[in-house]
Chains A and B, each alone.
Chain A
Amino acid sequence: MPNDLLETLLAQNRKTSARGNIDWLSVLGRCSESEETRDLLRQIPSAERRALLAETGRTVYREDLGNYRAELIYNTEPVVASGQLPAFAGQREDHAACLFAALSDFVDLADRASAEAHLAETRIDVAGQDHLAPFVGKRGIILLGVYQSHFGYALELLKTLGRIALIRKPLEGEGTEHIPAPLLEWQDSVELIPADAAGGIRLFQWLRRGGAVGLYNDFLYGDARPAKGMLFGRRVPISRTLLRLIQSTNSVVFPFAVARSFPLEGSDVQVRVFAPLSATVDPALANENALAIQISIATEALIRRHPVQWRLWNTLRVRWEAGASLEPS
């Protein structure tokens, strides 16, 4: 992805626009990284916290606070009107509830003690892990997810893969003095690798040794030269570095979903591993186009399974615009 585009996206995620928008996704992200906020929210029992956050999200949607509803309609109307996701027109408020309730997971899974207590009271339904067995320890494994519920709910499954690397966004001025965002860094079997050049080398080594990596394919990677992907019928950039990594390490890619069930104050979470992408099972098929198409389809399919839970709907237009610039003139 071109650097100027990445900067535009990052800037959009940091500031309110001149139109008075509040970028709630970024606000919630910063809340999840704020120890003070987590400490305050931790004092609310988890189920009540999720209910309260969900109600807050619904309020933000109904009252269009910070233009949230307007932005959401602007971003999602094309997929509704084109018949790709017609039901979503009636689910936007649920999406807002999920977006806010997801903050609760970063509180519950921020440290070992809290996570162990929370996971013990959560009913986690795991399926599809059999897909992984033939490849564990033999090939690099990439669990390809999208921003829905927290990866931490899959912890028991992840542990069966040995040590796992999770990709996180590089922090501003990436360096040792920065504390990573709370993404299971307390878990011994997890290594957090930034999505930057140094992280790319580390990932290469990790996958070559048959390690497992979890990543969000809907994360906006800062590639210098993005590849052409598709999302809801239009071109979007996807990480060429990711495609190269798959090719150069012969890694196998498994679509992977973690999604909390409704009602959000309930205790049920689904973890699903799906069949590996065929272009990654047979290295002879792993050309860039095939990988880009299959990864794109998998990403969209993951979003479609739980569209209300996808947290990045309000980036869809930006992605499309970035994809349009990839087309030959």
Chain B
Amino acid sequence: MKILVTGPSCSGKTAYVRSLPKNHKLIELDLYESAADVLALAQGSESLLFEGLPSGTDQQMADIVACMDLILVLDAPFAIRFQRMIDRDGPESLGRFLFNEFAWHRYLMPLFEGNPKARFVREEELPKDPFS
């Protein structure tokens, strides 16, 4: 089973996956520069937990998403996420945060909206073990 945990900046993705039982290999997408590498992993047979934002061309992103059995899209309000950004990175990271916000809504949300494998969940509703 392959699960993608995704969401906009500071939505709690990383904290969530780190709280999960370590039964499955975790692929943190931020650490991969090549979408082709991620796609190769996603297309393999191993059971994997992906965390972060798919990147690459539109087609590569769509292909990565298509490989998933379940997509958990974290849904945290803008105000909470913005405050987390300030606490974590400082207020002058405003530019990066807003760019990510724009990119999320423009390029990533369309991949998940209407996707039957995607579940939009608030942090308090996240499953304790999505593989179970």
> Is B86 a contact of A59 with CB atoms below 8 Å?
no
Chain B residues near A329 (CB-CB < 8 A): none
Chain B residues near A56 (CB-CB < 8 A): 82, 94, 98
- In Å, the complex CA distance between A59 and B86 comes to 13
Taking the closest CB of chain A, its distance from the CB of B86, in whole angstroms, is 6
- In Å, the complex CA distance between A65 and B82 comes to 9
> Is B94 a contact of A44 with CB atoms below 8 Å?
no
- In Å, the complex CA distance between A60 and B101 comes to 16
> Is B92 a contact of A41 with CB atoms below 8 Å?
no
- In the complex, A55 has a CB within 8 A of chain B: yes
Chain A, interface size category, equals 20 to 34
> Is A66 a contact of B98 with CB atoms below 8 Å?
no
Q: Which of A41, A59, A66 contacts B91 (CB 8 A)?
A: A66
> Is B94 a contact of A27 with CB atoms below 8 Å?
yes
**Beyond A27-B92, A31-B92, is A41–B99 a contact (Cβ under 8 Å)?**
yes
- In Å, the complex CA distance between A66 and B102 comes to 23
- In Å, the complex CA distance between A65 and B86 comes to 9
- In Å, the complex CA distance between A40 and B97 comes to 9
- In the complex, B83 has a CB within 8 A of chain A: yes
Q: Could you count the A-B residue pairs with CB atoms below 8 Å apart for me: how many are there?
A: 55
> Is A63 a contact of B83 with CB atoms below 8 Å?
yes
- In the complex, A62 has a CB within 8 A of chain B: yes
Q: Which of B95, B101, B102 contacts A37 (CB 8 A)?
A: B95
- Which residue on A lies nearest to B78, using beta carbons? A59
- In Å, the complex CA distance between A173 and B77 comes to 43
> Is A36 a contact of B91 with CB atoms below 8 Å?
no
> Is B78 a contact of A55 with CB atoms below 8 Å?
yes
- In Å, the complex CA distance between A93 and B29 comes to 38
Chain A residues near B79 (CB-CB < 8 A): 59, 62-63
Total number of B residues with any Cβ neighbor in A under 8 Å: 14
> Is B82 a contact of A24 with CB atoms below 8 Å?
no
Chain A residues near B91 (CB-CB < 8 A): 22, 24, 27, 66
Chain B residues near A62 (CB-CB < 8 A): 79
- In Å, the complex CA distance between A56 and B102 comes to 12
Q: Mark B67-110, 1 if CB is under 8 A from A, else 0.
A: 00000000000110011001000011011101101100000000
Taking the closest CB of chain B, its distance from the CB of A12, in whole angstroms, is 15
Taking the closest CB of chain A, its distance from the CB of B95, in whole angstroms, is 3
- Which residue on B lies nearest to A100, using beta carbons? B94
Chain B residues near A31 (CB-CB < 8 A): 92, 94-95
- In the complex, A53 has a CB within 8 A of chain B: yes
CB contacts under 8 Å to B, within A151-183, are: none
Q: Which of A34, A38, A52, A66 contacts B101 (CB 8 A)?
A: A52
- In Å, the complex CA distance between A62 and B82 comes to 12
Q: Which of A22, A52, A60, A65 contacts B98 (CB 8 A)?
A: A52
- In the complex, A43 has a CB within 8 A of chain B: yes
Chain A residues near B94 (CB-CB < 8 A): 27-28, 31, 37, 56
Question: 16 more A-B contacts (CB under 8 A) besides A37-B94, A41-B95, A41-B99?
Answer: A22-B91, A27-B94, A31-B94, A38-B95, A40-B96, A40-B99, A41-B98, A44-B99, A52-B98, A56-B82, A56-B98, A59-B82, A63-B82, A63-B83, A65-B82, A66-B86
